[in-house]
Structure 1
Amino acid sequence: MSINKPQIHRVMDLYTYLPRNPQAAQTIEQLHFKIKNNYAFSSGKINSIKKNIQRDLELLNQIVSDGEVECIRGGRFASKYRLSEAACLEHLKPELALVLIMAKNYLKSFLPQSVYEHTEGFFIAAEAQLENSTQLKEWSARMQFVPSGYSGQQLLCNDAIQEPIYQAILGERWISAIYMQKNSKYLKKYILVPHGVIHHENTNYLIATKVDESKRTQLSTFNMKNFKNVSFTEEQVSIDIDNKVGKIIELVENREFECAIYDRCPQNINFIFHRYLLNFLEENPLSIRQEIIILTSDNEIDEYRNHQLIVNNIVITHSLIEWFNKYRYWIDVIQPSNLYDVIDEYYMKNVTNEYN
């Protein structure tokens, strides 16, 4: 038999489980199903439990500092309840409210609608509180996020692909996925254990463990735009999938989600560059391990190309390739000596694959 929690605990649980506008309101019966362990139950006492939930809803409505518990009368049908958009148990500090508003404009572009709508009410509540505390309006318009690129629009995968991926992450479920590798014409099926998502340059990458037919596992990343179909699978087996946090951090630091040259073998980079790039490289280092050396006149150097950059043990990924290609006329590469030959071969291979 379940034991009644103190009323304040029950009210806090109600606050957690109540849908928030614009989500659909729920009846007391639906709420009871979610929080039935909070109320002692025995045969013949269901009406008493409903009355307790009703009283807890009324108390919650008195406690919320902003907004309210909305009651939607159903006429002949049962009334339904939900939190209003601005309902909250405590006032947010202006700094926290501002962060939530900034997060709203950013996340709206990258989350499937079914996930975003569960959080939208919190963003609206944050904006309402910020307007009250500052007496200034339209905070969402003041904090804008503009995607990179000429159009300023995102080209993300559709919600039919994203939704099961996010639900799998939240519910620790496995998925079966049909995936097309970059520059490939062929589809491949994967059994994946999703762990998280990387967002990089307008693209979401799924972090997941691949499970092959021999039950061997490998942590990897997948461009979510390249999934053609995703569905839940019960094809779970007894394998050892340890805590992946450390490996995930290592995977991100090594930028495994990007293509790379030299078979991803770390390289030592050494080049002389034009002073035009000095401020840029100081503010946007190629690596935290980079070293910039000022060359003296004794080195018989060009007076404009008078700085040298050295980075040891770095994987040259797509982002770095594009940087070298963009500034190739401003730098003289010393090491690796064949860097631009390899970069040109990389671009030619990609162009050829795209048109074949």
Structure 2
Amino acid sequence: MMAASENDFFEGTEKLLEVWFASSTNEDCDLRTIDRLEWEKLLTLVKCEIISCISDDDMDAYVLSESSMFVTQKRFILKTCGRTTLLSAISPLVKLVREKCGFDKVVDIFYSRKNFSRPELQFGIHRTFENEVRHLDELFPNGAAYTLGRVNRDCWYLYTLDQEGVLMPDQTFEILMWDMCPDRMNIFSRDVCTNGPEATKLSGICDIMPGAKIDDFLFDPHGYSMNGLLPGGYYITIHVTPEPQCSYVSFESNVPTESYQDLLKKVLDVFRPGKFLMTVFANEESVARESHRQLERENTFLKKEYVCQDHQYCNFKNYNLTYMYFSRPII
């Protein structure tokens, strides 16, 4: 979350890439055998760099100059903000994991993002989703592109493969927030906190998922990123762009649960956004596959503070996707 001067604009909205790999000959292939130097070379193509890394038995989590990267045995996640060129990494990534690990198949790919606040500032293919789709279609002949929400306002884009995909339990819960509370955003400044751990504690982020192994970083003069690891191959990641003219916060986790209501409430209590969109992506093997029904039935706390502007549900070959967009009522 590289900070900018007070008068500059920074695009907090991230580009999010998740790729699952497989080998037709070797079940023991492991992305984590790729050394850090190779990842650093790959990230130069994206226009970002590694700041720090934490690991556990299942995952390596990297805090980047622009957001985060996660590596497990078979899954690669890259989330980058600002003017990064994330899609430039896909072809080199596929080549890298084939040569270094022996993975010769892409089982599934997910590329998603909210619409940019200032798309004209992006490089090349990232200026429009149509350009991104054309680029991805050249790489994957069975791709499928979707837009959820209002294309003339705030919306969310998704590109995935039109195939059965990942068969092990898999889920992703994401909250993208903007029009942020200034008092909460001030915490993520060197004027208020001296480092990442102080901002994590003062903001209440440390209480969202107690027990997580946390790697956090406070940029100078402002901006914040954190990754958290939990046993079983689960992660949490939060990124904050606090500048008043372009305030934005993202929260993401793959923790499995039948209902994300409590987690949603914790995140909203910490950040108090004026607007947010939420997505729940879960396959048929996940305990979260019916979580959208819980959100429909038990969102009393949301109704007290927010108006649901859009609510869409999609059923793919092996995944269910829920999209909801909320804003505070105009008084």
State the TM-score bracket (shorter-chain normalisation): under 0.3
Q: Which structure has more strand as a fraction of its residues?
A: 2
Q: Which has the higher contact order (CA 8 A, sep 6+)?
A: 2
TM-score by length of 2: 0.25
TM-score by length of 1: 0.24
Q: Which structure has more helix as a fraction of its residues?
A: 1
Q: Which has the larger radius of gyration?
A: 1
